[in-house]
Amino acid sequence: MSYRQPTAATGVGVFYGYRSTAVTISTDNTKLPMTDASTGNTISSGSIDFGSSRKFFACGEVRADSIGDYQLGDIKIVANDGEVAEGYQVRNNATGTVCMDDACYGTSSQSTVSLFTGEILGSEAITAEANELRVTGVFVS
Amino acid sequence: MSYVPSLLSSTNIRADIIKAGTPTSAAVNGRFSLSGTINGAASIVSDRLRLTAGSSYHLEGSILVQQTAKNGAITWQWYDNTNSTYIGSEGYMNLATSFGSVARVSRRVACALVLDSDISTSMDVELRIKSLTGSAWNLTITASGISTFNYVGYPSARILEIPT
């Protein structure tokens, strides 16, 4: 795990991408496709597409709406040149011994940003489902 | 309760993500070891962040813990080491029972807003364990996360710097 710092800069503003319909989380390191993006940006193959490289800070979150959908695993932010931040544990199960924040954060200087699954506890993978995806961020210098 | 109005800035904010690793001690007042490269005005000195005047800073600290005994809770918070006071809101985790039945659930992150006007020349802040109950805590961060788990993510501290 490393913490990559951004290296290029343009613009001022906030961006977001989201998905409001359920998506199954079943395999490690798989894109969780978003469907909508903030004005000025587009969704390209499930990723937020800025149209050009931008230096950004982003936060990714998922929401599950029933116990059966909860998983024990993590999510991560991925730009078009690869992973920019390993995610955080999305959900602590009822008897878990490990606990952490439930969002992931990343910075990069690329033209797209996506939300991916990270490592999922195997026994949880067959039932996990995200009912909502959110990536919010800000362009930085 | 009051809400501080948003800060206006004509320039981009700066963002940095650094590691909030193994604390100096797994006990109250232990400080999570901050490390990494910072592009903004802040710097790391003895595991602490040194914030310099000329900017305001929004700080967040997320930690990763394991407690095999499942009989305790932890709070952590940003601590102003220059002025010897806790700042911002604390993070909280309770592993004593399931999250569905504990008395308190909140966002699992410590946050603080340090205004430029709060800083004389510089301010040293640290991410500190404020309270810890129960036994068998493991706060040692490994290359993959904690213990042998690789599906629990990785802890970090975030610095959003707003130039004045």
pLDDT interval class at B144 (50, 70, 90) = confident
> CA angle at residue A64 from A58 to A68, to 5 degrees?
150
Q: Mind listing the pLDDT tens digit for each residue in B15-33?
A: 999 999 999 999 999 999 9
Give me the pLDDT at residue B1, please: 64
* Least CB–CB distance from B151: residue in A5, A107, A120: A120
Q: Which residues of A touch B64 (CB under 8 A)?
A: 89, 98-100
Distance, in Å, from the CA atom of B153 to the CA atom of A73, rounded to the nearest integer, reads 8
Which of the 8 DSSP states describes residue B118?
G
Does the CB of A125 have a partner CB in chain B at under 8 Å?
no
**Which residues, given as ranges, of chain A have pLDDT below 70?**
1-12, 67-72, 85-96, 122-127
Q: Where are the beta strands (DSSP E) in B29-150?
A: 32-35, 43-45, 48-52, 55-62, 64-67, 73-80, 85-94, 110-114, 122-132, 137-138
Q: Which of B37, B100, B107 sits opposite A94 (nearest CB)?
A: B100
Provide the mean pLDDT of chain B. Answer: 89
pLDDT (0 to 100) of residue A124 = 58
Collect all residues of chain B within an 8 Å Cβ-Cβ radius of residue A85. 17, 156
B13 touches chain A (CB under 8 A): yes
Q: Where are the domains of chain A?
A: 13-139
Residue B51 has pLDDT above 90, yes or no: yes
Going by C-beta distance under 8 Å and a sequence separation of 6 or more, which residues neighbour residue B135?
B67, B69, B71, B72
Q: How far is A37 from chain B (nearest CA, A)?
A: 21
ipTM > 0.85 (yes/no): no
Facing residue for A85 by CB, picked from B17, B100, B145: B17
Give the pLDDT mean for B138-164.
Answer: 88
Greater model confidence, A100 or B56 = B56
Question: Higher confidence at residue A83 or residue B139?
Answer: B139
- CA B106 and chain centroid, separation: 15
Coil/strand/helix, residue B117: helix
| Residues B59 and B118 sit within 8 Å (Cβ to Cβ) | no
Pairing of strands B14-23, B156-163: antiparallel
Average of per-residue pLDDT across B42-56: 96
Interface contact A100-B65, CB threshold 8 A: yes
- Cα B156 to Cα B151: distance, rounded to the nearest angstrom: 16
Average pLDDT over residues B36-43: 94
**pLDDT band at B76; cut points 50, 70, 90:** very high
pLDDT value of residue A101:
79
Instruction: Provide the sign of the torsion angle of the four alpha carbons A22, A23, A26, A29, taken in this order.
Output: negative
pLDDT at A9: 45
What integer pLDDT is reported at residue A13 of this predicted model?
Answer: 85
| The pLDDT of residue A141 | 82
pLDDT computed for residue B102 by the predictor: 56
What is the predicted pLDDT for the residue at A97?
76
User: pLDDT confidence of B80, banded at 50, 70, 90?
Assistant: very high
> Is the pTM value of this prediction over 0.95?
no
Size of the A and B interface in Cβ pairs below 8 Å: 111
Report the CATH fold assignment for A13-139. Answer: Jelly Rolls (2.60.120)
What pLDDT is attached to residue A130? 84
What pLDDT is recorded for position A7?
52
